[in-house]
Structure formats: C-alpha cells, structure tokens
Amino acid sequence: MTNSAQYNIKAIRNDFPILGREIFGKPLVYLDNGASTQHPVQVINAVKDLYEQNYSNVHRGVHTLSQESSELYDNARVKVRGFINAACVHEVVFTSGTTESINLVAQSYARPRLQEGDEILITHMEHHSNIVPWQMVCEQTGATLKVIPISDSGELEMDQFHAMLSEKTKLVSVVQVSNALGTVNPVKEIIDAAHAIDVPVMVDGAQAIPHMPVDVQALDADFYVFSGHKIYGPTGIGVLYGKEKLLNAMPPYQGGGDMILSVSFEKTIYNQLPYKFEAGTPNIAGVVGLGAAIDYVNSIGLSTIAAHEHGLLMYATSKLQAIDGLRIIGEAEQKAGLISFVLDAVHPHDIGTMLDGEGVAVRAGHHCAQPVMERFKVPATARASFAMYNTFQEIDVLAEAIRKTIGMFS
C-alpha cells in the first residue's frame, strides 16, 4: 500500500467536489474512470476563470481579451508538449479527442499513401475507434486490415506480430493500454520492430496517458493520440502528436478558418503546423481545461499516481479473485488501471445496476471493444477502473457490493 505520508489521498479527494456526492444515500465510489475521469477544482476554476475573466476568440482580435485567450490557449499547447516530451510545440495538434485524432491520421496520412495490397496492422484488443477508421480507409483504398491476435491471458502474440510485419505493412496502429482488459502492450518493442523496416507506428494512448509517464521521443512514436477527459480534463478536447516531418507531408484534414495563410478563389495557402490541422474556432475552454489538468497531474507526479494505482490494482485483483463465481477477464502480466470481470450468476448489466444501488459506479457492456468480448466468449463484462483519487477502502466497498449482488441472484 502507498504510504499516506507520501501520497496525500485526502487532499487529492478534497480537490474533486463530485466525490462528496451520495448515490442512493451511499457515498459515491467512482470506479468508471476508464470511461471518463472526474475534475479537480483546479480544472473547473481554470475554465470558469477563462469565461469570467479572459474569454474571447483566439488568434483573431488585437483587443485585450483575444490576446489573453490566445495566450492561455497557446500556453496549454506548451504544457502538452512538456507532458509528453514532444520535440517541438507545433507537433501538438488539438482535436476533439482520440477518435478524431485517429480519423485524422487515417484520412490525412494513410489514405493518400495506401494502395491495393498494402496492409494496416492493428491488434485484437483495439477500441472500436482504432478499428473502424482503418476499415473505412481500407475500403477507400483497397488496402487490407491485419489483426495481431491475443492470448488467453490478454497479451499480444508478439511472435505473430513479428511474423505479420512485412514490406506490405504501411502503418501499425496499436493501443498502449487496453480499455477492456487493462493490458499494457510492449509499444517500444513494436515501434522498434516496425521502424527496422521503415513502417511508422501510431499509438492510441487514451487509457495510458492518465496512468503512466509518456515520452513520445523515447518511444519514438510517429503518432501518439489521447483525450483530455480521461486525464481529469474536459470532454471534447484531445491531442494528436505527430512527428513534424510526417505532419508537414500530410494534407489538411478539414478546411476552414485558422488553417489557412491566405485565401482567394484561385488559390488557398495553408497555414503552418499545428494550425493546418485546426480548422475553425477551436475548443478554447477545453484546451485551457486540459492545460490545467496537466498542471494538476504534474503537481502530484505521474510516477506517484502510477504507484498508487498499481497498489489499488493489486489489492483489487486479490480481493476480487477471492470471490467465488467471479472471473477476471484479462490477466496480462503488465496491467494498468482497471479490472474487467464477469460473474457466473449475474449478467454485467445487472451487476452495473446492483452496484449503483450501493453507490458504486462501474461500466457494464462491451466497452466499445466487441472483438475482445468475442475473443473471450463473453457478451459483456463489468469493469472497475481506477484513478488517483480512489482508495483501498473503496475497493472493499466494491468487493462487498459484488458479494451482495451474487447473494441476491443465487
């Protein structure tokens, strides 16, 4: 367990107003962080202050408010750069979220390069958002989608990956942490192998970014994508990191304002990075909120958060394993952030409703990863996913609520 002298869980919880809520008269136990995390007052206030003090459109007016908003907006990009250690600030493109980031790479990077016979390599544990955009681009180009299989424990079959990687492969897109299994994939090994034959790699970091330090240069990732709302920031804001060389060679994804240098009816000259990919008025409050979320996470430290969450994961795993009739789906050696499980006697949707009755919020369903459900021959799972503010005592509440649920259904 994490030493409370090092990890001030009480102070952290006090920063999250919603954690004071009661559900059906019971204290909220929020274990649906994999779907979306809650917001510290520092993020809420950053957005509130922007609207109350500084708000206007960015990169437009010469007036004071526009300048202040632009500065706050641009500063957030600097924070993101530091957070993922990108080489330069303009390698950070703001999008509406992980999904849009992946679609941008699929349409703007992959589509113009793909031909019939080419292959895109993904894994069996991808979220639908890292499957469907590639299916769409394959349909548009005649390329083929190849899927790296996973083992019964929920780990990538790396032998298969190495065998599938070939001169036909034009891009590898892989999730760093599975949202349905919690598996941490060896992305560095994947990137190194792909780069050995000059194949670029996109990493879906949506579930990794809140749980572990990420250094895109150390990874040598060509593209790295994540969402703000899974790291204590607002919804509707996400990041596409791309290597400058690759981003520069890509056409714009959408046309509009801010992404141009000059427009005439004869010729339009596109803006430079990152604005080339940020058409239209951006999600200013979302960006400012994301910047505040990064500041907050940095103030505690991702390594410290990771250690606390690892403790929660170990504790929850042993607690849940001790429950008769409970099966954990996803038993990879390297896991982060979450436990998926099924009960012999109770369907996951009923688990979800029953736990809600005890104030415990978990996700029930296929987690937008239907191929994973099929692989493990379950229609759905229940998922408890952790964040920096969860406590060991909350794991006890979860385990007790599961036991009560089983009791009522058998």
Q: Name which of 157 and 350 has its Cβ closer to other proteins.
A: 350
Provide the mask over 288-327, with x wherever binding to other proteins is found by CB under 8 A and - wherever it is not: ----------------------------------------
The CA distance from 213 to 206, in Å, is 13
Three-class SS state of 228: helix
Provide the mask over 16-55, with x wherever binding to other proteins is found by CB under 8 A and - wherever it is not: --------x-------------------------------
Provide the mask over 329-368, with x wherever binding to other proteins is found by CB under 8 A and - wherever it is not: -----------------xxxxx--xx--xx-----xxx--
Cβ contact 169:143 at 8 Å: no
Cβ contact 338:182 at 8 Å: yes
Cβ contact 237:97 at 8 Å: yes
Q: Does 404 bind other proteins (CB under 8 A)?
A: yes
Of 14, 135, 151, 370, the one binding other proteins (CB under 8 A) is 370
Q: Does 379 bind other proteins (CB under 8 A)?
A: yes
Of 12, 137, 216, 380, the one binding other proteins (CB under 8 A) is 380
Cβ contact 222:209 at 8 Å: no
Q: Name which of 79 and 366 has its Cβ closer to other proteins.
A: 366
Alpha helices in 361-391 (DSSP H): 370-375
> Shortest Cβ distance from residue 354 to other proteins (Å)?
6
DSSP state of 110: I
Residues in contact with 377: Cβ distance below 8 Å, sequence separation at least 6, in sequence order? none
Cβ contact 237:228 at 8 Å: yes
Q: Name which of 279 and 368 has its Cβ closer to other proteins.
A: 368
The CA distance from 182 to 203, in Å, is 15
Cβ contact 273:244 at 8 Å: yes
The interface region with other proteins, picked from 151-159, 227-235, 263-271, 401-409 by CB under 8 A, is 401-409
- Indicate which residue of 368, 378, 404, 409 is catalytic: 368
The interface region with other proteins, picked from 12-20, 60-68, 165-173, 399-407 by CB under 8 A, is 399-407
> Shortest Cβ distance from residue 56 to other proteins (Å)?
39
Cβ contact 288:282 at 8 Å: no
What are the E-state strand segments in 79-157? 92-95, 119-123, 144-148
> Shortest Cβ distance from residue 364 to other proteins (Å)?
8
Provide the mask over 106-135, with x wherever binding to other proteins is found by CB under 8 A and - wherever it is not: ------------------------------
> Shortest Cβ distance from residue 224 to other proteins (Å)?
30
Q: Name which of 165 and 401 has its Cβ closer to other proteins.
A: 401
The interface region with other proteins, picked from 42-50, 234-242, 275-283, 372-380 by CB under 8 A, is 372-380
Q: Name which of 171 and 380 has its Cβ closer to other proteins.
A: 380
Three-class SS state of 271: coil
> Shortest Cβ distance from residue 37 to other proteins (Å)?
21
Amino acid letter for position 166: S
Size of the site for other proteins (CB under 8 A): 22
Q: Is 88 a catalytic residue?
A: no
Residue (of 239, 202, 225, 236) closest to 77 by Cα position = 239
> Shortest Cβ distance from residue 128 to other proteins (Å)?
11
Q: Name which of 32 and 278 has its Cβ closer to other proteins.
A: 32
Residue (of 300, 329, 77) closest to 210 by Cα position = 300
The CA distance from 283 to 179, in Å, is 25
The CA distance from 345 to 348, in Å, is 10
Q: Rounded to whole angstroms, what are the CA distances from 205 to 99, 184, 212, 230, 259?
A: 11, 11, 10, 10, 26
The CA distance from 321 to 328, in Å, is 7
Q: Which residues bind other proteins (CB under 8 A)?
A: 24, 346-350, 353-354, 357-358, 364-366, 370, 373, 379-380, 401, 404-405, 408-409
Could you list the active site residues? 368
